[in-house]
């Protein structure tokens, strides 16, 4: 008897869930913006700050009267880093929530899975994913805000050229980020007159890169080493690099542009260079820098609200949201095509990633000046002039 009653209770609970889940939860909002982010799961370091940034700024915008005289409603779904889930949530945003635009897609994988849906529905989609494939070839309704790995390679090689370096070694992570960036670097190296004399890789969970670095150290004429990768791998590479006493300069990627890298690598990080967004050195920018106000404001707002250090990833969401809102204001409507056309006309938009100038052929709109070359000095970031 007891069992039967508890069963009934279970059904009642499930039924109650289903009923509450049925109707749309929030009040009558006029402009619905959708977002699918990897708030949990292995890519949560991307999705979490993006989620917090979007929520914070949508609240702020609504408090200030909204956009085009109407309030914004933000619909966020968490895909857990799974491309298949992202796709289902994207369908839901388009069909069920009927959003007018989308700012989201934390990773390249989730973004690419959602691209065909937004293209078909003709709804503007501003992606926060990293790789260049998102906007190259150009897709009608897809834009993105983060710098590409190709640009990171170019920025590094530009700096090397200025230092007279032409023969380099590469040690790349085999994760998605390291792999993609390694390919891009090999692709553009020739254009800068740079020859890759050693090319090694390591797995995402490796705890010692001494053998690979020894090979690189022994390569003929080595002048510098590049390490595409993120997570803890680059910190281990940096430590091993110092242990082996390799004296040539070491370049890291924008993937390690966070304080935790410096903490992990400790003193061995001294002198390491990397390309990164200005957000990391917001306080150190000269007052004359046109980007200073944007990045210091965003940093102060984020850190005050969430009490955690700012990251460049949240900055990408900030850029995406404001690019979209400015385009809507200029278009005077939320019609997909009108907003798309205005997004393409974005000129001199100063975001956390840099100065954005889009066109029909360029749905990213950043150039190399968006990256700053940083050097780690005394355990902190310093701008390389």
Partner 1 sequence: MLARLKGPRRGGLLVLALVIALLPLVLPNRFYFDVAILIGINAIAVVGLNLLIGYAGQISLGHAGFYGIGAYAVAVLPAELGIPSWLAFLIGVAFVALLAFVVGRPILRLKGHYLAVATLGMGILIFMVVTNESQWTGGPDGMPVARLTLFGFRVSGVQTWYWITGAALLLGVWFALNLIDSPSGRALRALHDSEVAAQVAGIDVASYKLFAFVVSAIYACVAGSISAFYTGFVTPDGAGFLHSIEMVSMVVLGGMASTFGGIVGAALLTALPQFLTVFQEYEHALLGLVIMLCMIFLRRGILPSLAAVLLRGAGQGGRA
Contact status, residue 65 vs residue 23, Cβ threshold 8 Å? no
Q: Is 15 in the site for partner 1 (CB under 8 A)?
A: no
- What is the full DSSP assignment across 204-252? TT-S--HHHHHHHHTSTT--EEEE---TTHHHHHHHHHHHTT--S-EEE
Tokens of 29: 């909002």
Q: Is 131 in the site for partner 1 (CB under 8 A)?
A: yes
Q: How far is the CB of 334 from partner 1 (least distance, A)?
A: 20
Separation CA 200–CA 195 (nearest Å): 14
Q: Is 137 in the site for partner 1 (CB under 8 A)?
A: no
Q: Is 66 in the site for partner 1 (CB under 8 A)?
A: no
Binding mask 305-334 for partner 1 (x = CB under 8 A): ------------------------------
Q: Name the segment binding partner 1 (CB under 8 A); options: 9-17, 60-68, 149-157, 341-349.
A: 9-17
Taking Cα atoms as reference points, which of 136, 141, 131 lies closest to residue 110?
131
> Quick count: other Cβ atoms within 10 Å of Cβ 267?
11
Separation CA 35–CA 75 (nearest Å): 6
Q: Is 25 in the site for partner 1 (CB under 8 A)?
A: yes
Phi/psi at 333 (5° precision): -155, 175
Binding mask 80-119 for partner 1 (x = CB under 8 A): -xxxxx-xx--xx-xxx----------xxx--xx--x---
Q: Is 17 in the site for partner 1 (CB under 8 A)?
A: yes
User: Which is closer to partner 1, CB of 66 or CB of 176?
Assistant: 176
Cα 141 off chain centre by: 19
User: Which is closer to partner 1, CB of 116 or CB of 379?
Assistant: 116
Please count the residues of this chain forming the interface with partner 1, following the rule CB under 8 A: 41
Separation CA 69–CA 115 (nearest Å): 30
User: Which is closer to partner 1, CB of 87 or CB of 150?
Assistant: 87
Residues contributing to the site for partner 1 (CB under 8 A): 3-4, 6-7, 10, 13-14, 17-18, 20-22, 25, 40, 77-78, 81-85, 87-88, 91-92, 94-96, 107-109, 112-113, 116, 131, 133, 174-176, 179-180
């Amino acid at each position: 008897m007891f069992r039967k009653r508890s069963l009934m209770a279970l059904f009642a609970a499930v039924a109650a869930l289903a009923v509450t889940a049925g109707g749309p939860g929030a009040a009558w909002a006029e402009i619905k913006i959708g977002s699918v982010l990897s708030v949990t799961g292995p890519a949560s370091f991307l999705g979490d700050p993006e989620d917090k940034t979007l929520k914070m700024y949508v609240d702020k915008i609504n408090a200030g009267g909204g956009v085009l005289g109407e309030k914004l409603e933000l619909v966020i779904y968490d895909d857990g880093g799974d491309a298949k889930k992202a796709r289902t949530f994207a369908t839901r945003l388009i069909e069920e929530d009927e959003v007018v635009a989308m700012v989201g897609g934390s990773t390249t994988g989730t973004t690419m899975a959602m691209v065909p849906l937004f293209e078909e529905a003709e709804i503007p989609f501003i992606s926060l994913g990293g790789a260049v494939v998102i906007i190259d070839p150009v897709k009608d309704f897809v834009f993105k805000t983060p710098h590409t790995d190709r640009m990171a390679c170019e920025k590094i090689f530009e700096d090397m050229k200025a230092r007279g370096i032409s023969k380099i070694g590469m040690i790349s992570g085999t994760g998605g980020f390291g792999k993609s960036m390694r390919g891009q670097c090999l692709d553009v190296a020739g254009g800068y007159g740079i020859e890759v004399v050693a090319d090694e890789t390591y797995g995402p969970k490796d705890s010692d890169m001494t053998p690979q670095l020894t090979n690189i150290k022994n390569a003929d004429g080595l002048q510098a080493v590049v390490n595409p990768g993120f997570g803890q791998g680059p910190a281990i590479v940096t430590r091993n690099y110092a242990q082996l006493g390799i004296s040539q300069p070491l370049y890291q990627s924008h993937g390690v542009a966070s304080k935790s890298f410096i903490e992990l690598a400790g003193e061995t990080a001294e002198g390491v260079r990397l390309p990164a967004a200005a957000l990391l050195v917001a306080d150190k920018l000269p007052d004359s820098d046109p980007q200073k106000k944007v990045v210091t404001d965003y940093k102060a707002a984020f850190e005050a609200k969430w009490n955690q250090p700012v990251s460049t990833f949240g900055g990408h969401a900030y850029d995406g949201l404001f690019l979209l809102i400015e385009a809507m204001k200029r278009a005077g409507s939320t019609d997909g095509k009108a907003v798309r056309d205005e997004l393409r006309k974005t000129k001199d938009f100063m975001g956390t990633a840099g100065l954005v100038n889009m066109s029909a052929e360029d749905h990213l709109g950043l150039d190399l000046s968006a990256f700053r070359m940083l050097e780690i000095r005394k355990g902190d970031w310093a701008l390389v002039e």
